[in-house]
Structures are given as C-alpha cells and as structure tokens.
Structure 1
Amino acid sequence: MTPETPTQRLDRLVHAAGAQMLTRSLSPVSLSLAWADWAWHLMQSPGRQMELAALATRLGLDSVRVAAGGTPGDEHLGAADDDPRFRDDAWTQWPFGALRHAFRNQEAFWREAASTPGMKAQHAAETQFFARQWLGMLTPANWLPTNPVVLADAVESGGTHLVQGAMNWLRDITGQPDPQALAQEDSRFVVGRDVAVTPGKVVYRNRLVELIRYAPQTKTVCPEPVFIVPSWIMKYYVLDLSPHNSLVRYLVGEGHTVYMVSWLNPDARDQDLSMDDYLGLGLFDALRAISHFHGADQAVHATGYCLGGTLMAIAAAALGRHGGSASTKGLPPLRSLTLIAAQTDFSEPGELGLFIDESQVRLLDEIMRGQGYLTGKQMAGTFQFLHSRELVWTRRMREYLLGEREERSDLSAWNADTTRMPALMHHQYLTGLYLHNALAGGRWRVDGHAVSVADIRVPVFLIGTENDHVSPWHSVYQLHRLCDAEVTFVLVAGGHNAGIISEPGHPRRHYRIALRRARGPWLHAERWQQQAELRDGSWWPAWQTWLAARSGTPVRAKPIPADVAIADAPGTFVLKRYAD
C-alpha cells in the first residue's frame, strides 16, 4: 500500500473511530446525505407535507378507534398474523390485537413517508430501509408489557424465564458467556469430527488454497470431475456439513469425483492479496492440479457458490474468449458451468447494495488499512442489518424475554466460524463489481484483457434462492441477458445458505426450473417465474441428473493416489482461526 502522510492517518483514525462508535462501521456521511436528501425535499414540498399529515391523521384515528372499541371479535383485530412476530393467537385478543393494528398503521405510514419525489434513488432506498429497521426495533413484540406471549410465559414460569433472560442479557453486554453453555457449544459440530467429515485428501496446496479431493463411494464414477469453488467470505464446509445434509457427500454418493477449494483465512500479512491472486492462485492453479491428475484433455464440471461463482464466471469467460489468455494456458476445458447464488450483473444487488457507495468503500478502506483486512464480525454486522428482524430482534426477544438460548445447529455453527477479507482484494471486489459493474459491462480484465460473460459457451446450471438478501435472484437471473449459452435456471425456496442446503427429504422444500436453450429468447424474471415448472422437494437430484446427462460413460472408480495426498480432509486452512 502507498505510505500515508500524518494528516491522512489522522483523518483515517477519526473516520474509522467515528463510524465504529456511531453507525456500526457504516458511513455516517452516506447516511447523513440520504437523510438530508429526504429532509430537504420534504421541507420544500408543502403539498407533500399536507398529504403525509392527512395520512398520519387518518391512520392515527383508525388506531384509536380500534383501541377504544376493540373486542375479541372485532374484525379489525383479525386472525393470527403471517408475520412470525405476531403468529400466536394471543395477538388476536384485545388489547394486543389493537397494538398490532397500530403498529401496522405505523408501517403503512412510513412506507409512504420515507421517500419523497425528487430524491436520489439510492437515498430513497436507504431511508426506506432504515425506517424499516427503526420500526423493527419498536414493534410491540420486542417489549415485555406489550407482548402477550411473553407475559403468559412469565406468569406460567413464575418469573424464572425472565430472570434467566436477564442473565443472558447481562452476560452478553459484559462479554462473559455462560461457561456451561460455552462448553456445550465447543463440544458440538467440531470441524473434522461432526462437520466436514466426508472422506478425502488435500492433494494440492499453495499460499492461498488447499484443494481437497474426495474419495469415491461408488464402483464407477463420471469421468468429468466436479470442481467446486466456494466464496472466501465463508468456510467451504457449508457444502459439507453433517453427513445427512452434505452436498459433497451427496455428489460422491451419486458417482461424481468432487474437488473442493478450501481458502486460507487471511491475516494482516495477506493484505495485498488481489482479485487476480484469488483467480490465479485459487482457481487457475487448482484447475491445473486437477488437469495433472486427470489428463489435460479431461473436461471439468466447474461450480461456484456466491462470490466463488462470480469468480468462476470470470474464469469461464476468460477460457471462452478466443485464444484465451496467458494465465489460462494449460487449463482443462470446461464441460459445464454451475453458478450457485452467484451474481454476474450487479446492477440490482438488492439491499446489500445500500451499504456500498463511494463513501462507504472509502470508510472500509480506512478501517482495513489499519488492520489489513475486514473481520468476520464487521461483515456479520452488515448481514444482521439485512436480516434484523430474524437475526436481531426476534432472537433477542427469545433470549432476553423468554430466557431461551438458541440451540446451535450445524449451519449456525458454520455461520459463527467467520473468515476475513484481505484489504486490497475487498477494495477491488467492491469497486469493480458493485460500484462499476465491470463484469456485466465487459470491462473486467484478466491478464490485461477485458473479458465478457458473453464468451461463455458451455451449458449453465444457474441457481437463485427466493429470499436471498446477498445475491437476490432477480440479479442472479440477469445472466440470461448477458450470454447466449444454454441456461437451466432453478429458483429454490429459502435463503442464501438455507435454500442451498436442501438435501432430499428436507421438509417444506420446493423449486422452479426451466431451460433456456442456447440463443433462446429473453424472458423477464417475473414471466419466467410464472411459466417455470414447480416441483416439490430438493433441487439436488435435478442438478445431479443435469450433470450426469452432460457427462461421459462412467468409468471404474480409483482410490486417491497415496503419493499426491498432502493431508486428510478437511485439511489445515479451514481449522485456522484468528481473534477478530
């Protein structure tokens, strides 16, 4: 990094400290500009003020009327709410139904009031988002006197649950966890013992990745290996959790040879790792290792998850470019490309895009310059904003008012096993993809040459999830518009992680699927959703069938050669933890 002057260092320290104390590492400048845009446009619009005043009066009178005249049979109290916060039948009884009704009126008001004509679209989206966050905090479900479920539980438990909740709150604010609960958590979902246990070997390692090859579990296997690149924002074993819900175990059980990238968890020494390093060391070098094991002409089923999928799309575009490039020489051909919850067009990044503008990127650069990376806790704070109702308020209500500590699952244990992001790579990723949308615009460079997603020629299996706040499915779907390859798009029930971990037999799962043939017509996302076939169950068998149909005749499975094994899976990189 370029050395900074004393004045630059002073500015950096002031900006970083102020943001961490006041706005949880969000840019106070961006938030202030959004608020000022809303306030100034509202101040100079007396007609708009009159409209909002009339709306507030009408909704307020409605709330008072229901509160004054509400009875258990009042139609305005209604049935139990679809919102999980108000799902209990106790919310249909007065006065709690009236409180819920008043809260719904508040939400209706701020849906209208949080934006004003003339505002910059980014600012309008920010004010609407933070209005929802404020209301999420003020919901009557979060407070003891206004939550009938909590009140009934307090009576039934004789107050013991409230005492336990108070202890939970005290431990959290003091940072002193319950030793017994901590011991139980540490003994569950141990990497290599309970999760990430599919048998395999580390067969290649460089400074950034370990490449795991999983042992065959069938007598014959498809000749084309499946090469999976997960996001480096997460530990790879989200795809190899407990044996019953491990995607890796499912694939090897269906006769596929699977390779998985396990990323290094970087520290300050790795702050200058770039996106080019992640592409070269993390993806191209791993592909060369696979080519060495299987032969230069053996094609590969390439798969990428989240940001790993974006990187895989860049690689596929570089391989598809006429003549390739210097870094793609000697790489095996791709037989297919699977992108799991991965964006190639960042023009519609959803609510996550609200946290990414020039001011926010500058602030993150200043935070990372002091430590060389972005911590998992700092990233987790942003994701908690996106899921504040589920990850913050509903959880706090259970823990502090009902005295219930969330029982850790393998997925939540993985989610707590955070990783870091090196400073240079994170800056390039945010500016190149989110701010400038360089990949979709054909301006992302590999070896100094621009690559285009339009150069992808191999069949694509594209997966989005219905409730994804990280990679919204409408954004994932945009690949149809960017290339003429054959695309099979699958829209899965669930969120960014839970929708992907959808093993056969998982209850209440469904997905939509449709094929767009090469150079086929473009359909708008909503029209695609209306026309796509709806299927119950897991999407995994559909993907496995798709892979098998694009694979050669199965060959006899062979054990992993002893001379290439460096270590047993899950390797060493995944076990490295650093204190944030």
Structure 2
Amino acid sequence: MADDAAPPPPEQPAIPSLADLQHWTAVFGRAQQMLLEHGFAFPADTEAKAAAAGEAAPAALPAWADPFALAQAGTAYWADTLKLWQRFIDPAHAGPYVEPEAQARDRRFKAPQWHEQPVFDFIRQSYFLASEHLMKGVDALEGIEPRQKERLRFLARGFVDAMSPTNFPVTNPLVLERIVETRGENLLKGLQNLLSDMARGQLTQSDATAFEVGRNIATTPGKVIKRTELYELIHYVPTTEKVLATPLVIFPPWINRFYILDLTAEKSFIRWAVEQGLSVFVVSWRSADASMKDVRWDDYVLHGQIDAIDTVRELLDVPAVHTVGYCVAGTTLAATLALLAARGEADKVASATFFTAQVDFSQAGELSLFVDDDQLELIRTLSAEGFLDGRVMAATFNLLRGRELIWNYVTANYLLGEDAPPFDLLHWNADVTNLPATWHLSYLTDLYRDNRLVQPGSIAIDGTPLDLTTVRTPSYIQAGREDHIAPAESVWRITHHFDGPLRFVLAGSGHIAGVVNPPSAGKYQYWLNDSPGVETLADFLSGAREVKGSWWPDWIQWLRGIDAAEVEVSGGRVPGEGALPPLGPAPGEYVLKR
C-alpha cells in the first residue's frame, strides 16, 4: 500500500560545477585584492604584525557596554517572545494578532518577502519585539537626570537602528536574492562602493555626477557684486518691470552651501522670490580654511550681515532692507537685530524672516546631546588646523536620522551593490563646508550649552551687550513640524523674546523640505493662528487652521503688507549697472571652493 511505501531518500545537494567553483574563487579573490589595495589586513595578518611589534592584536569589534540592564530582564519580554514563537510554530492556535501600524508601515520592511516568507517574517517581528523592550527598558530607568536619560534614549535608538536585520546580508531576503541573481557580484560592487566612500570620508547618498553647480542647480541668473574674506554678495537679475522698493537680503547658513535656496529651477526659493517682484540679494559664505581660525561670531554679525545690509542700502539708496535668516544665520540675524537696536539703527531692517532658526536653546532637541565637555574637547582636537572639516558636521546631522540617512544607504550601496540615484537635495547635503574653529566652539558653548543669547547682557558684539527683548522689527517666523535639527518647540520660543509684531507659521515636514516647498509642487501644508496671547506651541496648534500647500504665498503677502511701494527696474536695480561693478556671474566662486 502507498502508506507502507518507504519515504523517498532526502534530496542531495547539487555538487558545484568546476565553473561555479572558479567563479566564487574569483569573487573572493577580487574582494581580497580590493581590501589589500586599500590598506586592509586580514585578522591573521594583523595578529602576526602585532606579535612582531610586541603588541596585543586589536579586537575585531569593540565590546558593547550595555547600560540597559532592565531591557535584558523582565518577564514581559520573555512572555512576548513566547507568544511570537507560538504564532510562528502553531499559527492556527495562536489567536488573532493585529500588527501595530508603525511596524506594518516601516519602509525598511516594505518588500513582500519580509511578510510572506515565514522565516523572515519571524526575524522581522523578533527585531521589533526586542527593539520595543529595549526602549521600554531605557524609559523605565530611574535615578538618572533627564539629560542623561535623553542621551541613553538616543544611543539606544541608534543601536536599534544599527541592529536592524535589513543591515546584514544573512538576515535580509533581498540581499540573499541579489547574491543568487548576480552570483555575488553585488557584494563586490558594494565593497567597491564602501572603499570609495571610506577614501573620501563620506557616505554617498546621491549620484555625484548628476548635478553641477551653475549647470543644473544654482542657475538663477545674477552677478557677484562684492567679495570679502568672509562672503560674496550675489545680486539676481529682475524678471519684472517693477520691483518692491525695499530689497531682500538673504542670509543662508554657513554650515551649508547657499544653493539650498536655489536648487533646480522648480524648487528655487530665490528664483521664485525674483518672480514675485523682489530685488533679491544673497550672501554666499566662504568655506573656512586655516586663515579663518580666529573668525568669531562678531565677524558674522559685523562683517557679514550688517556689512551686507549696509552695502545693499547704499547701492540702491534705500533706508532699509527686508532680511531672511536660515538656521544658524537666523540665530545670527536675531543678534544683528539686537545690536542694531542697541545702536539706535533698528530702522535699517524693515522686516526679518526666520527659517527654522533658534534663539532660545533650552529645548534645542537632540543636537544638544552632542554638547558636553568631552564632545567639545573632541571638536578642539578635530579643529587643530583652525577649522572643523564639514564632513564631521554632516555625519552629526546624519546621526540624528540614522535610519534614513545612514543605514538606508548602507543596505542599498554596500549590500545590494546599487548606485545612488540622483537627488538634488542630497547632493547639496553632501556638499559640505568647513567651519571656523573659534566660532564653532563658542557657538556650541555659549548658545547650545549655556543658552546665553536669551540672557539680556550676557553676550556682547563689538563691546555692545545684546538684549533680544529690545527687538521690535516685524518678524515672520517659520518652523518645521517634523524638524529634527531645530525643533518646532524651540523655534517657537522666539515669540517669548521679541517685542515686535510677529507672525508664526508652522510648516509641514522638516528642516529642509519644510522650507523648500514651492507652491507649484502642491505638497504639505502649514498652520496659522491669529488669536492674540497664544503662549505655547500646543495652544497655537489647538486653535490653528490648516492651509494646504506652500506657505510661500502667505509670506510674500505678509511682506507686501509691510510696504507695497514699487519702483521701476533701472540703474542699481540691475546687477552690475550700479556703483558696484560685477565680479563674475552667479553662483560665484566661494560656492565652488572646497
């Protein structure tokens, strides 16, 4: 009978052919050759060299000093683990299970293999389970000061993101499939990508050949009309017959290149502002080198912002200018306004607009976790030549969103062996600038650590004490609801210190996309609340009205409400036809210096 028939013998694995053996031998040989060419030694070689030198061989990996004892114990974790095993081994009797929405929508695991293949579904759910209990363990810690607890939470989240099964070949089904499809060529390509990134000291996030400043990004027509040791001043060509009588001077952050506001033509805030009938001037900061080791915050206020303001006022023979300060340049703009107020020169600025800028750092978010004595000493060491390499700052910002800005590319570039796709914003993000060492350390110490800018008289510029409560300049304050660099709650606190008419706008998205959101894109939204006496961001939101799309039209309407007077485009309103001859076309020279 069929039931009595002997079971078939187990299927024997196929013996690799000579061609297969030759192929995989060549793959491993090429990988070894690439490592040797880049100065890597294999463990046995390393141990031999260490022994010859009379030294102990270095550990292959540093030990993980686990500060989260509560996350290793706890019956809740083991109970949940047993439930997971039951769902895996005996799904028919495991009872209904509804996966949390956050897990189901996690983009790292969007491929169907993570859900349809039982083994990888189990790996995925095990990862979420361990991650959840680890974070709960941190939250359960007692007797730790809040700042230290926040730091532990940040480290734990970073560890959780790093340990994702998507980051390892043997636990990622997509990588395993790619290895089979390419016969290991993806690993060789990934290794090549990794070694290339290590050589340049930066993770590749976008195709570096896809964009070129002045060719397909930063292309708004204009002229450089002034160049100092600190900045270039760019005047953009008007596209309307008349412009607002009061010109606009934009101060981008010197932590990055100015063309975040002049990406592709469709995304350019600068081009859009010109099209709205504004005389637009933009400061392009010089990337620091050893000659700028003594540059201080005073220089960015006096010889940067005030100098540019006075230059434009004199060029166009106008009493005042509108200003925009983005991020750190917005923080500096607040100091500039306070200094002008103390000098009796506040009328030089007709309005100030702040893009995701902070003045009160009491709630500055996770960046403040990097500011303590040990971190400051490390920065001093890294800045021994008088400037901080911009790649250090870029890595710090990437750590704040490690899942999206680090591990996503580790998987794609190094494991799958893919080439990074072109993305203008990420191209800009990788185009780093160096920072003057003296200024950077004082910025971290005086503002992030000690929060001195909001303490009247605590900080002085050119010997003049600053007091933000004396600022009565009409101000437009924009914050990003998902901003991880300048949290919305921190930006909101400007309203607690300025004494002039204020308009606060909360934009959808974060530090970049919340700002660079042209009306033509039809994306995101913003919130407004015109009720008087709103004290907190939570109160603002509870009574706010949501408006779909870009906040840019609201801003230009607000600006015209301050002074709608217009003048004909002639003389100095045309770049290079006034008292300042053109020094070259936009985007200038400083934006190209590395």
For normalisation by structure 2, the TM-score amounts to: 0.81
Question: Equivalent residue for 1:146?
Answer: 171
User: Within 2, Cα distance between the matches of 1:354 and 1:171?
Assistant: 31
Which of 116, 119, 126 is the matching residue for 1:95?
Answer: 119
Q: 1:469 maps to what in 2?
A: 484
Cα separation, partners in 2 of 1:77 and 1:336, compared to 1, 3 Å: closer
CA deviation digits over 1:30-84, x for unaligned, max 9?
xx9xx89x57xx7xxxxxx599522332333233333323479962557772221
Q: Does 1:198 align with 2:215?
A: no
Of residues 442, 450, 459, the one that matches 2:465 is 450
2:237 to 190, 215, 223: 215
Q: Is the 8 A contact 1:56 1:109 kept in 2?
A: yes
**Conserved 8 A contact 1:305-1:340:** yes
Give the aligned residue type for 2:465. Answer: A
Residue 106 of structure 1 and its aligned partner are, at CA, apart by: 1.3
- 431 and 251 in structure 1: CA distance in 2 versus 1, 3 angstrom threshold: same
Out of 520, 531, 540, the position equivalent to 2:543 is 531
TM superposition shift of 1:528: 1.4
**Paired position in structure 2 for 1:292:** 314
Residue 460 in structure 1 maps to residue 481 in structure 2:
no
Q: Point out the more displaced range, 220-229 or 521-530.
A: 521-530
Assess if the C-alpha contact under 8 Å between 1:77 and 1:92 holds in 2: no
Query: Quick check: 1:334 aligned with 2:349?
Result: yes
Structure 2 residue matching 1:431: 3-state secondary structure: helix
Give the alignment of 1:464-503 within 5 angstroms: 464-503=479-518
- In the TM superposition, residue 397 of structure 1 has moved relative to its aligned partner by 1.2
| Cα pair distance change 1:153/1:397, threshold 3 Å | same
Matched, 1:58 2:79: yes
Provide the residue aligned with 1:124 in structure 2.
149
Measure the CA separation in 2 of the matches of 1:493 and 1:165. Answer: 39
C-alpha distance 70-556 of structure 1, shift in aligned 2 (>3 A): farther
Q: What aligned pairs does 1:226-305 form with structure 2 within 5 A after superposition?
A: 226-295=248-317, 297=319, 299-305=320-326
Task: Classify the secondary structure of the residue corresponding to 2:521.
Answer: coil
SS of the counterpart of 1:478? helix
State the distance in 1 between where 2:407 and 2:87 align. 26
Q: Does 1:575 align with 2:589?
A: no
Query: Taking structure 1 as reference, are residues 69 and 490 closer, same or farther at Cα in structure 2, changes over 3 Å only?
Result: farther
CA distance in 2, matches of 1:285, 1:555: 24
Select 2:377's aligned residue among 354, 358, 362: 362
The answer to which of 460-469 and 73-82 deviates more is 73-82
The partner residue of 1:108 within 97, 118, 132 is 132
Q: 1:378 aligns with which of 385, 392, 401?
A: 392
- Alpha-carbon offset, residue 148 of structure 1: 3.8
Indicate if the aligned counterparts of 2:208 and 2:422 stay in contact, CA closer than 8 A: no
Change (3 A) 1:174 1:207: closer
In terms of mean alpha carbon deviation, does 464-473 or 224-233 score higher?
464-473
Unpaired segments ≥5 residues, structure 2: 1-57
Query: Any idea what SS the aligned residue of 1:245 has?
Result: coil
Give the superposition deviation at 1:90: 3.6
Report how far residue 296 of structure 1 moved. 5.0
Alpha-carbon contact 1:491-1:513 (below 8 Å) kept = yes
* Residue matched to 1:314: 335
> Against the structure 1 CA distance between its residues 149 and 338, is the aligned structure 2 distance closer, same or farther, given a 3 Å change threshold?
same
Tell me, yes or no, if the aligned pair for 2:71 and 2:133 is still in contact at 8 Å. Answer: no
> How far, CA to CA, are the matches of 1:151 and 1:255 in structure 2?
56
Aligned to 1:421: 435
Distance 1:187 1:86, change over 3 A: closer
Tell me what 2:107 maps to: 84
CA RMSD, Structure 1 to Structure 2 (Å): 2.8
Structure 1 residues 242 and 488: alpha-carbon distance in aligned structure 2, compared to 1, 3 A threshold: same
Structure 1 gap segments, 5+ residues each: 1-20, 23-27, 43-48
Which residue pairs with 2:160 in the alignment?
135
Give the deviation of 1:432 after TM superposition. 0.9
Asked if 1:411 corresponds to 2:425, the answer is yes
8 A Cα contact 2:191 2:414, kept in partner:
yes
Given candidates 377, 387, 403, the residue that maps to 2:401 is 387
**Post-superposition shift, 1:421?**
0.5
Give the CA deviation at 1:154: 5.3
Poorly superposed stretches of 4+, deviation over 6 Å: none
Once the two structures are superposed, residues 553-575 of structure 1 have per-residue CA deviations (whole angstroms, 9 ceiling, x without a partner) of 22212223435122221111111
Q: 1:159 aligns with which of 179, 182, 187?
A: 182
Per the alignment, do residues 67 and 444 of structure 1 end up closer, same or farther by CA in structure 2, a change over 3 Å counting? Answer: farther
| Cα gap change, 1:235 to 1:144, in 2 (>3 Å) | same
Judged with a 3 Å threshold, the aligned counterparts in structure 2 of structure 1 residues 165 and 539 are, in CA distance, closer, same or farther, namely farther
Count residues in correspondence: 520
Q: Distance in 2 between matches of 1:567 and 1:250?
A: 22
Question: d(CA) in 2 for partners of 1:420 and 1:82?
Answer: 38
Q: Is the 8 A contact 1:77 1:101 kept in 2?
A: no
Output the amino acid matched with 1:552: A
2:441 alignment partner AA = H
Larger Rg: 2
Q: Distance in 2 between matches of 1:244 and 1:174?
A: 32
CA distance in 1, matches of 2:190, 2:73: 41
Q: For residue 236 of structure 1, what is the amino acid of its counterpart?
A: F
Q: How far, CA to CA, are the matches of 1:294 and 1:174 in structure 2? A: 49
CA-to-partner distance for each residue in 1:95-123, whole Å, 9 max, x for gaps? 33332222222122112212521112221
Q: Which residue of 2 aligns with 1:189?
A: 211
Q: For residues 507-554 of structure 1, what are the alpha-carbon distances to aligned partners after superposition, in whole Å with 9 as ceiling and x for unaligned?
A: 5422222346xxx41332122123222111112222122112222322
C-alpha distance in 1, partners of 2:114/2:207? Answer: 34
Q: Secondary structure at the match of 2:105?
A: coil
In structure 1, give the amino acid aligned to 2:544: A
Shift of 1:477: 0.8
How far the C-alpha of 1:316 sits from its partner, in A, is 1.2
CA distance in 1, matches of 2:158, 2:100: 25
Distance 1:73 1:194 in 2: 57
Distance across 1 between alignment mates of 2:392 and 2:304: 24
1:548: which partner in 2? 560
Q: Residue type of the partner of 2:432?
A: T
Question: Structure 1 residue aligned with 2:416, among 402, 425, 430?
Answer: 402
Which piece of structure 1 moves more, 72-81 or 544-553?
72-81
- Preserved contact between residue 76 and residue 101 of structure 1 (Cα < 8 Å): no
Kindly provide the amino acid, as one letter, of the partner of residue 118 in structure 1.
Answer: G
- Identity, in percent, stands at 31
Matches of 1:539 and 1:58, distance apart in 2:
49
**Cα distance change on mapping 1:466 and 1:152 into 2, 3 Å:** farther
What is the DSSP-based 3-state SS (H/G/I as helix, E as strand, rest coil) of the residue aligned with 2:505? Answer: strand
Three-state SS of the structure 1 residue aligned to 2:266 is: helix
